[in-house]
Amino acid sequence: AENEQPWGTPCTQLLVFVATPGCDGFPSLDSKEGYKLSVSEGFLLLSADAVWGALRGLETFSQLVGRDENGTYYINKTEIVDFPRFPHRGLLLDTSRHYLPLRAILETLDVMAYNKFNVFHWHIVDDPSFPYESLTFPELSKQGAFNAMTHVYTASDVQTVIEYARLRGIRVIAEFDTPGHTLSWGPGAPGLLTPCYLGKDPSGTYGPINPILNSTYQFVTSLFQEVSSVFPDFFLHLGGDEVDFTCWKSNPKIRAFMKEMGFGEDYKKLESFYIQRLLDVISSLGKGYIVWQEVFDNGVKVRPDTIIHVWKNSMPYPQEMANVTKAGYRALLSAPWYLNHISYGQDWMAAYQVEPLKFEGVPEQKDRVIGGEACMWGEYVDATNLAPRLW
């Protein structure tokens, strides 16, 4: 008894058993992430249906290992059966309002893996800047990035992010938001944005993408052709939020088009006209899509398999969740998790108290909630304060 160790039998190895082999693919909405972890004296076993579950189990295992005062590593006996409640557990980073260096994105992916997040929603471009280097339209970043040399994501950077994420079981969903939120696209794509008018004359400013030109649809087809081959995930995020109609209303050619189409003064119809054509383009490329809730709210005809991303609180978000799922669409919730909104004192509790399924609806509606995303918009966030504000 004198030489008996304070701990039980030394653990020398963790056996990992994966039922379905294969580590070369990409994770998807349907990935199996469940695992079983058995820790008993002299025997450690992690078993999973798929490699994605094994990754989650390894993460749990690493978090169970402790160290005593002598520096000895130990793990307590346990049996864990674990699987995700929701298949989409995402985080949005905005790399347009402030550029985030590659290092900051990779670091975020690491911490996402610690917390078993599985979707990186890359809101890569927006009004302030266009850091994505397009092979098809190199002028977009040359003219639209904060700095065309230092503040861009090259093709190689994007591949690095996608692979770094894949190895952690994280999907990368790119968002190229149109027809609004596109001011940075203008300098590199002449003729794409709508010229705004003051009275009879162009004011020199630009509004959303011009939805009445054939050249617009040729442009978005070519751009999204590239984007859909660069980003392997089945889903693209197409935005569609916060379209300001002021500029469209000021433009005489657009007013004439509205008349011709019989849209009256209803600019939501013009927005729908654009979005529907865009969705047809994306479908033809064999991709699925996620859109912000305005697309649903404004009555755009979308495919039944569209995912509606709920972010607003103009009506309480549980009501929106009920409406979206009642209409038969899948829903993704972000409204209660805008982490860029900070306040004095302890504001983190509210985020943990959210119950995504707390809305009026039948069980089939609840089943249409695929999960949620925390959003970190970049107006006041760059590499210096991203990590502490996020985590």
Write the DSSP string, 170-188: -EEEEEEEESSS-GGGTTT
pLDDT at position 149 over 70:
yes
Of 50, 182, 75, 59, nearest in space to 125 by CA? 182
What is the C-alpha separation between 128 and 379, in angstroms, rounded? 10
The pairing of strands 78-82 and 73-74 is unpaired
Determine which of 10-19, 166-175, 198-207, 254-263 has the lowest per-residue pLDDT on average.
Answer: 10-19
- When pLDDT is averaged across residues 314-326 and rounded to a whole number, the result is 97
Instruction: Express each pLDDT in 58-73 by its tens digit.
Output: 999 999 999 999 999 9
- When pLDDT is averaged across residues 21-32 and rounded to a whole number, the result is 93
Tokens 């994501």 found at: 153
pLDDT: which is higher, 3 or 293: 293
What is the C-alpha separation between 361 and 363, in angstroms, rounded? 7
pLDDT reported for residue 9: 72
Q: For the chain, percent helix, then strand, then coil, each to nearest 5?
A: 30, 25, 45
- When pLDDT is averaged across residues 326-331 and rounded to a whole number, the result is 98
Instruction: Express each pLDDT in 218-238 by its tens digit.
Output: 999 999 999 999 999 999 999
Please give the span between the terminal C-alpha atoms of the chain, in angstroms, as a whole number: 47
DSSP state of 158: H
What is the C-alpha separation between 71 and 46, in angstroms, rounded? 25
What is the C-alpha separation between 179 and 208, in angstroms, rounded? 5
Question: Which residues, in sequence order, are CB contacts of 374 under 8 Å at separation 6+?
Answer: 90, 91, 92, 334, 337, 339, 351, 390
DSSP state of 311: -
β strands within 164-257, DSSP E:
171-178, 193-198, 201-209, 235-239
What is the C-alpha separation between 132 and 177, in angstroms, rounded? 13
For this structure, is 242 an active site residue? yes
- When pLDDT is averaged across residues 21-30 and rounded to a whole number, the result is 92
Instruction: Express each pLDDT in 96-134 by its tens digit.
Output: 999 999 999 999 999 999 999 999 999 999 999 999 999
Q: For the chain, give the mean pLDDT.
A: 95
- pTM, two decimals, is 0.96
pLDDT at position 265 over 70:
yes
pLDDT at position 319 over 70:
yes
pLDDT reported for residue 10: 77
Torsional sign, CA 88, 90, 92, 93: negative
Q: How confident is the model at residue 6 (pLDDT cuts 50, 70, 90)?
A: low
- When pLDDT is averaged across residues 355-371 and rounded to a whole number, the result is 98
Q: How confident is the model at residue 18 (pLDDT cuts 50, 70, 90)?
A: very high
CB of 175 closer than 8 Å to CB of 124: yes
- Amino acid, single-letter form, for residue 11: C
State the catalytic residue, choosing from 41, 163, 242, 364.
242
